[in-house]
């Protein structure tokens, strides 16, 4: 059984002139090596495909794979994470993680929170704006928190994302509009603890891997791109007590299944000052660096090896209803 690997390498885009922040979501060679080595150790053959522009000619000449392990973030547009899954759907090729609809929805934090609200899951009061002029339509209660609506990995999140007054709001939204050229999410600032919840599986099969608390070592409590890149110096991770963990688990599972996410990922949660947890955002394509990504870190904290994590992701992918025509081949492979 052959598994193809689709991904975007950070170093490739840096060489193309992207800044470190612009390329922050893309993966390192260590991540691709780690996934491939885990798949080989599990008995699979692997084939590195790469970006969408490398996938398209492979499909055109008739190359196919039993499964594609897709972690490509994409580059252009609100549907960038969905582009490779959509292509693979068109060619009826199974792949890991969520489908194009989910990936397009969840990339936009504001649209995601609208769905979360409709599901009755607690999330901070919010709005999204498309221009500075729209700020005149709202009366805000401070403090607030702002960030680009369609980025990940902490891009566009800084200490200055914490907003105390109207002057700061106008000035800092203007900066984000100029830099990221996309909608801005404005939400009530939650002053409490922050957690990330790992989830494995799809629908009724979804289960919690672990709840991990993110605790700042520094004065800032903003889990920014800078803190994520320097997490060993800036934060520490811990497993919380059962009472708050259970609250986070319920919100995370309800959000994961309500949004239709698949296979594996993370839900980020932040509390108010009364320890009431609120949905923050979803990560349907969570980082998989063997050492430095949140998901493998929390797995190691609860005794799950990196190879076991990759094995569980692949097995979850083969359970999708859309892969039913391949399931017999999968069981035959396991019996070998």
pLDDT score of 166: 96
pLDDT score of 334: 54
pTM assigned to the model: 0.92
Beta strands across the sheet bearing 144-148: 126-129, 184-188, 144-148, 162-163
Which segment of 4-8, 56-60, 226-230 scores lowest on mean pLDDT?
226-230
44 pLDDT higher than 60: yes
Q: Answer yes or no: are the C-beta atoms of 199 and 266 closer than 8 Å.
A: yes
Average pLDDT, rounded, for the chain: 93
Q: Is 235 left (phi over 0), alpha (psi -120 to 50) or beta?
A: beta
| Pick from 156, 239, 149: nearest CA to 197 | 239
326 pLDDT higher than 70: no
Q: Answer yes or no: are the C-beta atoms of 69 and 4 closer than 8 Å.
A: yes
| pLDDT tens per residue across span 52-70 | 999 999 999 999 999 999 9
The count of other CB atoms within 10 Å of the CB of residue 334 is 11
306 pLDDT higher than 90: yes
Q: For residue 328, what pLDDT band results from cuts at 50, 70 and 90? A: very low
More confident residue, 164 or 229: 164
As a whole number, mean pLDDT of residues 187-206 equals 96
b/e map of 58-76 (b: 16 or more CB within 10 Å)?
beeeeeebbbbbbbbbbbe
As a whole number, mean pLDDT of residues 288-302 equals 97
Distances (CA, A) of 96 to 5, 104, 289, 319: 10, 16, 16, 10
DSSP string, 203-216: GGG-EEEEEEEEEE
The count of other CB atoms within 10 Å of the CB of residue 172 is 18
| pLDDT tens per residue across span 101-146 | 999 999 999 999 999 999 999 999 999 999 999 999 999 999 999 9
CA distance 257 to 124: 20
* % pLDDT > 90, the chain: 85
Distances (CA, A) of 158 to 19, 57, 109, 181, 228: 16, 40, 17, 17, 11
Distances (CA, A) of 26 to 9, 59, 241, 288, 325: 5, 23, 33, 11, 32
173 pLDDT higher than 70: yes
pLDDT score of 325: 46
255 pLDDT higher than 70: yes
* Architecture of the CATH domain 194-317: 2-Layer Sandwich (3.30)
CA distance 64 to 4: 9
Distances (CA, A) of 191 to 124, 162, 225, 231: 11, 10, 19, 20
Q: Answer yes or no: are the C-beta atoms of 240 and 211 closer than 8 Å.
A: yes
| pLDDT tens per residue across span 67-100 | 999 999 999 888 999 999 999 999 999 999 999 9
Q: What are the boundaries of each domain within the chain?
A: 2-97+323-335, 137-188, 194-317
CA distance 213 to 196: 6
Q: Answer yes or no: are the C-beta atoms of 114 and 124 closer than 8 Å.
A: no
Q: Answer yes or no: are the C-beta atoms of 255 and 197 closer than 8 Å.
A: no
- For 57, residues 6+ apart whose C-beta sits below 8 A from its C-beta are none
Distances (CA, A) of 300 to 144, 287, 304: 35, 14, 5
pLDDT score of 324: 44
């Amino acid at each position: 059984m052959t598994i193809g690997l689709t991904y975007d390498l950070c170093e490739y885009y840096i060489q193309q002139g992207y800044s470190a922040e612009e390329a922050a979501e893309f993966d390192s060679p260590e991540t691709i090596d780690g996934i491939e080595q885990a798949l080989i150790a599990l008995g699979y053959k692997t084939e590195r495909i790469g970006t969408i522009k490398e996938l398209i000619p492979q499909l055109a000449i008739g190359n196919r794979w039993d499964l594609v392990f897709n972690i490509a973030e994409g580059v252009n547009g609100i549907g960038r994470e969905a582009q490779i899954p959509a292509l693979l759907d068109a060619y009826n090729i199974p792949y890991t993680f969520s489908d194009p609809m989910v990936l397009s929805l969840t990339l936009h934090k504001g649209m995601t929170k609208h769905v979360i609200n409709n599901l009755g899951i607690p999330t901070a009061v919010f709005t999204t704006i498309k221009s500075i002029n729209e700020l005149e339509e709202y009366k805000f209660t401070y403090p607030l928190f702002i960030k680009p609506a369609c980025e990940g990995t902490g891009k566009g999140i800084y200490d200055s994302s914490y907003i105390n007054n109207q002057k700061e709001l106008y000035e800092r939204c203007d900066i984000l509009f100029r830099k990221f050229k996309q909608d801005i999410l404005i939400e009530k600032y939650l002053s409490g603890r922050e957690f990330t919840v790992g989830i494995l599986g799809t629908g009724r099969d979804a289960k919690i891997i672990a709840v991990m608390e993110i605790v700042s070592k520094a004065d800032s409590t903003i889990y920014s791109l800078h803190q994520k890149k320097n997490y060993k110096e800036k934060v520490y991770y811990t497993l919380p007590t059962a009472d708050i963990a259970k609250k986070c688990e319920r919100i995370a599972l309800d959000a994961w299944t309500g949004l239709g996410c698949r296979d594996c990922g993370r839900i980020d949660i932040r509390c108010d000052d009364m320890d009431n947890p609120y949905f923050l955002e979803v990560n349907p394509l969570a980082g998989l660096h063997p050492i430095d990504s949140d998901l493998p870190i929390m797995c190691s904290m609860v005794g799950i090896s990196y190879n076991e994590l990759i094995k569980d992701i692949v097995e979850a992918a083969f359970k999708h209803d859309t892969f039913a025509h391949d399931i017999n081949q999968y069981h035959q492979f396991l019996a070998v």
